[in-house]
Structure 1
Amino acid sequence: MRITITVRDGSPGRADTDDLRRWLGDNPALRGRIRRPTEASPQPGTMGVAADALLALLAPGGVATVLAGGLIAWLQTRKGSQTVVISRPDGTEITVTSTHVRALDARQTAELAQQLATDLEATADTGQPGGTPDASDAPSTGPGSTVRRPAP
């Protein structure tokens, strides 16, 4: 699955996005999976990826968990207020902000990383990886994150 990661901090430029790309790229499990979008034109009828975004390629085997932990750890080290918005192919946006994750203890950080990984792996149809539709499938939130799913 290909997801888009955008860093928003209110300042122009791509310094934070580049820093996040380097941070995530230092993890052997993510090496080669995080990249800048190509400059190629988008397909007709589709929107392109913002120039200050990153593309992440997720695959089975725990990559989403590593990515989630890396994103949260990076946000916890930031000064000021940064927001990371993760967009799944189904239009779901997951938002995590540095001001909310900075004060989390180790247990809360681990819980948020697990919830974020679950949200990253969930599919549009089912809300669960490889599962079946669940009537109780509401957007999940944890301390420091929000999930916004597209309207049906």
Structure 2
Amino acid sequence: MQIAITAQDDGGRSSADDLRGWLGRQRELRGRVKRGSGETPEPGTMGSASEIITLLLAPGGVATVLAAAVVAWVQNRSGSQTVTITRPDGTEITVTSDRVRGLTAQQTGDLAQQIAGSLEQPAQLPAPDGPSAPDGPAGTAEPA
């Protein structure tokens, strides 16, 4: 399963390159982390405000490593950071520094497990046409 990750600071500037480097240093994620293609940059700018990271998840605990690395990265950055992980079915998982900075070690581990569980859930398949068919993507999951 390929996921997309964006990272922005409180000024709306992309932190994707820094996060990509952090993730790439995780042994279990090496070779899985790539620079994605974001929106086309505005003329006169040096890059896209929504640069993305793509990552290929596979069974075997890689989601747990990713989740723990994202939480640790956000906790160790100065200023406000927001990381959004988007599953192929459109489900978004958002981690913000405001919500993770004061967590205990136990709470940090619990959050990483919750994020990993959200990433490992089977992709939501569209329901057949009819009255019970969902409208749009599966929604947003925002771990506490």
Q: Work out whether the TM-score is over 0.5.
A: yes
1:113-124 correspondence runs (5 A): 113-124=112-123
The 2-side partners of 1:121 and 1:57 are apart by 12
Matched, 1:5 2:12: no
Match of 2:110 in 1: 111
Once the two structures are TM-superposed, the CA of residue 99 in structure 1 deviates from its matched residue by 1.3
Identity of paired residues, percent? 54
Long gaps (5+) in structure 2? 39-48, 126-138
User: Against the structure 1 CA distance between its residues 27 and 55, is the aligned structure 2 distance closer, same or farther, given a 3 Å change threshold?
Assistant: same
Instruction: Provide the TM-score with structure 2 as the length reference.
Output: 0.76
The 2-side partners of 1:24 and 1:139 are apart by 23
- Compare 4-13 and 16-25 and name the one that shifted more: 4-13
1:30-109 correspondence runs (5 A): 30-37=29-36, 52-109=51-108
User: Alpha carbon RMSD of aligned pairs, Å?
Assistant: 2.5
Deviation by residue 1:51-98 (Cα, 9 ceiling, x = unmatched)? 511001000000000000000000000111110011100010110101
Instruction: Provide the TM-score with structure 1 as the length reference.
Output: 0.72
Query: Partner amino acid for 2:118?
Result: D
> How many residues end up aligned between the 2 structures?
123
User: Against the structure 1 CA distance between its residues 142 and 51, is the aligned structure 2 distance closer, same or farther, given a 3 Å change threshold?
Assistant: closer
Long gaps (5+) in structure 1? 40-49, 127-137, 144-152
Larger CA Rg, structure 1 vs 2? 2
SS of the residue aligned with 2:118? helix
